[in-house]
Structure 1
Amino acid sequence: MIKFFKENKLPIIGGLVSTLFIGLAVFVLGNISGYEAKHLISSSLSGINMLCNTVVLASATILALLLTLLGISSGTDNKLKEAHYQQVLTIAKFDTILFIMALILFQLFNIPITEAESVPTSWFTTIYWSTLFISSILSGMLITVLLLLYTTVTNIIWIVGMRKDHPLISTEEDKTDK
């Protein structure tokens, strides 16, 4: 796990910074009452649904494009190291988690909670802050996935397009070390 964080330090830091920035921006709003939270949930529902739709669409597209990336990777003249495929696997894992989280959040916000009369007003504050917290996590995770993807695509461009020596290209020495 420590190796994972070392190898993907910049994308993870990028995602964490964006999550913290968004979360901090929301925290600046301060305390709100249950009635205010109910009103804010109603007014922000379309934006949250749009965020979830965008994240679901982006993550599904990224998963599909990873198949193309694998096709390019296997079709190259150079034999790539396992580390490249581990990068692709990491992106796929993060992206799948992101897809599922966004889909669940989207489904939850299609429940007309603000129209329900049996929900105590005090719950709306918790629902509101949870929504903002989860949406900032979704945004941060999407940024992390995009930065991971950027790193992998950049590596492929160097290997396939620029035909440069790259640490991910397997050499004869690597084969004899095994």
Structure 2
Amino acid sequence: MGSNNKISNIFQKNKRAFIGGLIVTLFLTLAVVVIGQISGYEAKKLIASSLPGLNMLCNTIVLASATILALLLTLLGISSGTKNKLKKAHYKQVLNIATIDTILFVCALVLFQLFNIPITETDNVPTTWYDVIYWSTLIVSSMLSGALITVILMLYNTVSNIINIVGLGKDHHLISKEELEEEEEEEQTTEKE
């Protein structure tokens, strides 16, 4: 029960990012289905021709995910170095990005390994399996792309919050209220002196 509540909470706080990722996933899946239906090739030939692109996509996602994890460490350094005390919600947001990004990293790496199995070179696989393999790989790659878009949109939200807080000095909902009250008291004390 607590796990479902946590997932629901993550979704609610990052609704726009998840919707953006879902739109990309649906768009890519639709494009793949339309192009796959138009081509008229058999699934075995389509798998053979699409594998280099799928491998490149997985490589790109693995590299992007690893880079995002490194950038999150930099973001945490900036967050902890700010003069304003940030609420735990900011750090939970960063943790959510790191969690989804790590899952994305692992999935892309596993799929990269699976795509390197020379499935089209064997004659022992029934021809009906090629259709399932072809559509599965394309739908899963669409989902990976959508998940990467979700992570990037979540990261954008977090970075824009930090820019507003640290760079522009704006009052923000992620700044701890106690910290703001202390700053106001210090300003009043300075003005009296």
TM-score calculated relative to the size of structure 1: 0.93
Of 150, 153, 158, which aligns to 1:152? 158
Matched, 1:164 2:190: no
Once superposed, what is the RMSD of the aligned Cα atoms? 1.9
2:147 is aligned, of 104, 124, 141, to 141
1:46 is displaced (CA, Å) by 0.6
Higher relative helix content = 2
- Matched with 2:191 is none
> Which structure's CA Rg is the greater one?
2
Tell me the number of residue pairs that the alignment of Structure 1 and Structure 2 aligns. 174
Secondary structure, counterpart of 2:85 in structure 1 = coil
Runs of 4+ in 1 over 6 A off after TM superposition: none
Contact 2:58 2:112 in 1 (8 A): yes
Structure 2 residue 6 is matched with structure 1 residue 3: no
Q: State the shift of 1:174 in Å.
A: 9.1
Give the whole-Å Cα distance in 1 for the aligned partners of 2:53 and 2:9.
37
Are residue 49 (structure 1) and residue 55 (structure 2) matched? yes
1:29-74 alpha-carbon deviations (Å, 9 max, x no partner): 33988x7111001011110000000000000000011011101100
Counterpart of 2:146, as a letter, is: G
**Which blocks of at least 5 consecutive residues in structure 2 are unaligned?**
1-6, 182-193
Contact residue 84 and residue 179 of structure 2 kept, 8 A: no
1:79 equivalenced with 2:85 (yes/no): yes
- Taking structure 2 as the reference length, the TM-score comes to 0.86
How far apart are the structure 2 equivalents of 1:173 and 1:148? Answer: 26
Does 2:25 align with 1:30? no
The amino acid of 1:25's aligned partner reads A
Q: Any unmatched runs of 5+ in structure 1?
A: none
- Residue 117 of structure 1 corresponds to which residue in structure 2? 123
Q: Which residue of structure 2 lines up, in the alignment, with residue 108 of structure 1? A: 114
SS at match of 1:166: coil
Q: Which residue of 1 aligns with 2:103?
A: 97
Deviation for aligned residue 1:4: 2.2
Q: What's the secondary structure of 1:165's corresponding residue?
A: coil
1:19 is matched with 25
Deviations 1:97-154 (A, max 9, x none): 1001100100001111110121111111000000001000000000000000000000
How many angstroms does 1:25 deviate by?
1.1
Instruction: Say whether the 8 Å CA contact 1:41–1:114 is kept in structure 2.
Output: yes
1:81/1:170 contact within 8 Å kept: yes
